[in-house]
Structure 1
Amino acid sequence: MPDTPRKPQYKTSFKSTLTIGSLFTGGKASITPDEQYLVTTIGEDIDVTDIHNGKRLFRLNGDTEIITTFVITPNGKYLISSSRSLTVKIWDLKAGKCIRSFKAHEAPIIVMDVDESSTLVATGSADSTIKIWDIEGGFCTHNFRGHGGIISSLKFWKDNTRWMLISGADDCNIRIWDLTKRSCVAVLKSHVSIIRGLDVSNDGNYLLSGSRDKVANLWDLNKKKLIKTFPIYETIETIGILSPDTVISEVENSIGKELFYTGGDNGIIRIWDLQSGKLVKAQDPEKNTKYGISDIIHLHKSNYLVAITTDQNILFYDIFSGLKRIKQIVGHNDEIIDLVYVGPTESHLAIATNTEQIRLFNIDSFDNNIIYGHKDIVICLAKSSDGKFLISGSKDNTARLWKINVEAEAEERIKGCGICIGHTEAIGAVALPNKSLKFCITGSQDRTVKYWDLSQADLSKCEEEYRPKALYTHQAHEKDINSISISSDDKTFATGSQDKTIKVWSTDDGKLLGTCTGHKRGVWCVQFSPVDYTIVSSSGDKTIKIWSTNDFSCLKTFEGHTNTVLRVSFITSGLQLISSGSDGLVKIWNCKSNECVATLDNHTEKIWALTIRKDENFVASGGGDSLINLWQDCTIEEMEARVKEEEELILKEQDLSNYLLKKDYKNAIMLAISLNQPFRLLKLFTEVLNNRTEGDKSITGSESIDNIIATLSKENLEQVLKYIRDWNTNAKNYRTSQTILHAIVKSFSSQDLLEINGIKDILDGILSYTERHYQRLDRLITDSYIVDYSLHSMDLLGPLEQNLMEED
């Protein structure tokens, strides 16, 4: 017999498995000497992150003021940081703990450098002074004054047997300080702008300086004179000399040459010959980029140059291969506008982040890519059914097609394969077909939809300048088009607009088939059902609606979000919906009952983006809080755990019955407490008390129960006292509750009872009902109510029993 199709399992529970947030918000970034960890500033904190898998090792919590700079000692043992609070902190990098802090200057520290022995750190401040500190001792060894402006660069240098410090400032001067003489031994003047970088040649004879005056100067350190000036033709922000054994495979005769690198406002790393000043190699510029380079880190072991960009990204370039980009780390995501799963196994996320670039995240590793091409902010994304192609719409009025090969090397993973030009305003919605990549549809703020013919193109050739033709253009709506969805058979498509309507069109000729009206505010999202002739829509009126594609009537309305519903989609073979809104929540709905069965809360701002993996085991959401959350369906796990828990409960119930039958009071009492069954426990105590034998001197009617009560843990004792409070509300249970209370008070000291959480409220509840039943009982709660109760408890229980017997 053929297999019976399995009924889809309703989803009722998701758990957050990964949150992708910012790891660099601008300022200083560095890499540890062993090249294992990335150290970055996050506002007032510093993060230490594994450079290979992206896992944060620890966060060094600041003092609520922005970090101005930090430096790592060459031995990798310490990190020294400073903030706008003027405090310097020395951190143990292995333990992630601050071991010393002190105030260093009268103004914020701008730059730092550590000597090669990792014993001294130099700090340059906005107060125009330079101080040198003993790292282990935390005391100041030198205080240099002489610059007439903010200190902008520092470099330790060993001249034979003497330690020297070289400094640059915004007074355009370079000063050389002798640490032994504690004085300035030379002032080098040539630059006409702020000094941004200093480095000493490998033989120690020359100084290289870079400035925002767009030149690099080479100085003779022995004669303290300028030798050469190299025009760099860009504002220099960082400069450094490469190792003497550096080889660039693409450059002839690079072996043996002394080379230096520069980075600045052009956003390009360039390598120069130190002797001739000629350009040796420059990285290939990224298209339509606007970033500059604020710093470059030279990784000696890997032979990489790592560029820190002004848009908070970290780019790795291999020197040997001619500055080929081999890795990218996205430091900060702006507001997440859209995201989709891509790749054959949907192992990556393509993300639009309120910038001109598209980010490609590898979910399983720390290897990311930035897709350059658009000239303005990317608004929307859509993927092909096989996940190998992506389309993006932008405020530059174009839509671009991309081929994605996640298995290729970094620079080959994403390639442009076409650009759709024709809209007169920003493109707010794009869609690709579900069956074959023969067309794409775009919708714009110019109120039109365009059908682009891709049937004659070979997109696999990645001809970036290929321009598809628009076979038809229709004035579709009266306001901006926010969403486009293509049906599973590719025969129809739907559009949602700010004009509050959803329209359904024929794909072949763009003929309008029907209009769905009913929303009171703009429609943000439309999606076809994968199995039925229905469409789901979400709106600014806080509702979700399901529409029939036969007569375009509203079939159902879902209410539950407290603000605009921005995204919605069918899941579970059309039996459920998943939605996200401006209230920062993701909700799961059952279509049949209109019931919200789960709410996922891990965002603090509106959730613009929501995408579901094909197997529906994972959902990704992104929002205005710059966070991306990955949610895993754990419905089956929870069901299995619930079934297991119920089975264990049944077994425990059976054990409890067996213990009671055997009069195994110890196990019975402990099991009743763990099962939270106060009635069974009350019944047990009452039965033992009623069957007390003549001459029995125990409190409860059984010495074994007295002993059990005396050995209760603090948690179990708290639970039993709460039971007594509840039992005491019923006069029928007074004798049992007061007897057990007597046993507790006699077995535990007042100090033991005072350590129980909420003991006063518990005893207040017990005594209030005792007083209500027996007016002759003096009130016992005083400032030392537990001590008083302990003293009087034994005398109290006898009269209580006698009074009740007289009343009976």
Structure 2
Amino acid sequence: MCAHSNKITGCGVSPDKKLFATVSLDLNLKVWSAQKSTEVASLMNPSPLNCVNFDLEGQLVAVGCWDGAVRLWNWLEQKNVMTLLGHQSSVRSLSFSPCSSMLCSGCLSGEVRLWSVTAAACVGSYHAHRGSTQSLNFLQGGSLLMSAGHDSVVHVWSGGLGQTVAVLGEEKIPSLQQQKRSRHGNEDEANALCVAVASGYAAVGYHGNGIKMFNLKSGEKVWSSEDLQVSMLCLMWMEAKGTELLLSGGMDHNLRVWERQGENPENLVLMGSFGVQKGPILSLAQNSTCVASASDDFTIALWLKNTLTSKPWIDPKVMCILRGHIGGVTCLAFSPNGKELLSGGKDQALMIWKVNTSPPGLSQSISNCHGDWITGCAWTSSAVLSCSSDCKLRMWDIQTGCLLREILSSSSLNTLCCWEDHVMAGSTDGLLMVWKWESGVEIARIQAHKSHIHHCTVVFQPDLEKNVKPEDLLVASASEDGTVKLWHPLKVQHHNTLHGHSAEIQALVSKDARLPEFLTVSADRSLRSWNVTTAMETPRCQKGSVRSVCFLGTDELMVCGYDAGRLEIWHQNSVVYWKKVSDGVLHAVTGMLDDELAVGCSDCSVCIWKLERDSKKCIVGLDKVSSFKVELPVSFLFYCGSLFGVCMDGKVINMISTNDRIKEAYTWANKVRPLGVMANDNKSFWLLGQKKGILYLGLIVS
């Protein structure tokens, strides 16, 4: 049939497969019945068209135009419902997200833009390809976006905004294994309740386990409070005469001041503990002169900052107690000028206190703000915000107390923080959501954690000073899963780059957005099939080279050790588990009895790990059983009744000896260089070596 009067440039199929649409250089978008092969709609555009895509309902059709516009049509009503402007060159690709109202578009310059269809606004953009972005496709229910371009590569991106910067602490494993580990005293078991970041370090408060401090660059834990079995509910860094102090509020009703040692900035020393409130300390806030602490005893205590920083330590006296709430006070925030204090509580009320008067007093009270506890509050330039377990984020007029705007979330909100015109909130289902508070437009919905987010906060970046761009915004979130994560919430996550084609990729398609496979076709005349699981694996440059390999058990599992300290366990052709076990090179790995394996590292350590399995025998974790130190790194490890390590100087050492000391079992004389080991029987193994082109063979008996 004759469909258009000029070249057809794109075609799209509706989700129910009953319709298809075509676009052409003749300016026309046409919708066709797939069953009858008849035209059901023809829509004229002001510009030649390149591409077309149906939304999830099949009623909206998006077209990409030569003039850089993305136009959305309701083909049933045959009218243009919106025009999205922003691209500076011809739009070459489009894709609707199957899980949200997000539309993605790619243009001739390689730019990709993310659009909120409900708000008719661009929520993010990034440069994806050198040359045009030829094809876009959401996969895995919209959690991933694949882009293919003129530069012959496929990129794997997150399906929306939200880039992970760092993960602090180890994520808790499923409940079955949780019970097993608790008997061994796993130090990362406690929930992460709060986080405070300063000078490259993050202090994290845990449920029943005090405070730990992490280095942001390495992600390693560098300090923890000893013998402090107290839940830390809130943390805040303070500056005093060039010294950084950490203030903590605990479940035991006490405030504590910790000093960062100048000669050892990774250590905190307790200066003093104090308090007058008769309930757990739920929130902290500060301005230039004072600190406010909120308690579950319905009160807010004000403290002069200089009384908390005195040397030698003197127990501070409370400046003032503010009373007005009839429930526990859950959140605090000082106004930008520091003259007013906002508080929210379990009584569902917001209160504004004047703290620059003597004595400080209540200036505004807004009752019945929410249908449940208020869990977070913040100031904007012209209003105040509150969030609640009732799933609502609300904006209030400071002068009148009137509700200005309401944003409804899909789950309970536990915490919020603000930066310029953006507000971030954490929910009980692990989502970190970002809105523009002035318009209520949702910018991002990030699955930040697998469970409850207790706290989120904007991280101050002194190196950027006042030149912070939206994409530089950094947010930390603390979760019930035991981790703290740092995010660029307004950046997209780039997962991997897939190479294979040698010319422009012309199309990328998937049979089903829920399946982990897709196809690409290229000007190099090839059709390629890709697997998303493989595509999501850590790029080789981040893993380093494979340095050691061994088989476990009945040879169904293979273990690989990498340059970067990564340990992978493979079953058939897939990675079933991985863990970073060292900062150094993994020189040697070997299997042992009872699902144990030994790993030799470049830091002269040998560690024994045990596989943790769930009820279905799937590997879900690695537990460190023991570790040993040797004089030189081991090049090979072998188990035959005992664990032997072979060093590069020819020494063979018995790692597990009866007298609890590592002992030398054999030394190859004359500087023979070990090349490898091989099994002989269950009590001995062969050792292969070389010297000046001559091979040597030795038998080691356990």
Q: TM (normalized to structure 2)?
A: 0.38
Which has the bigger relative contact order, CA under 8 A and spacing at least 6?
A: 2
Higher strand share: 2
Larger Cα Rg: Structure 1 or Structure 2?
1
Q: TM (normalized to structure 1)?
A: 0.33
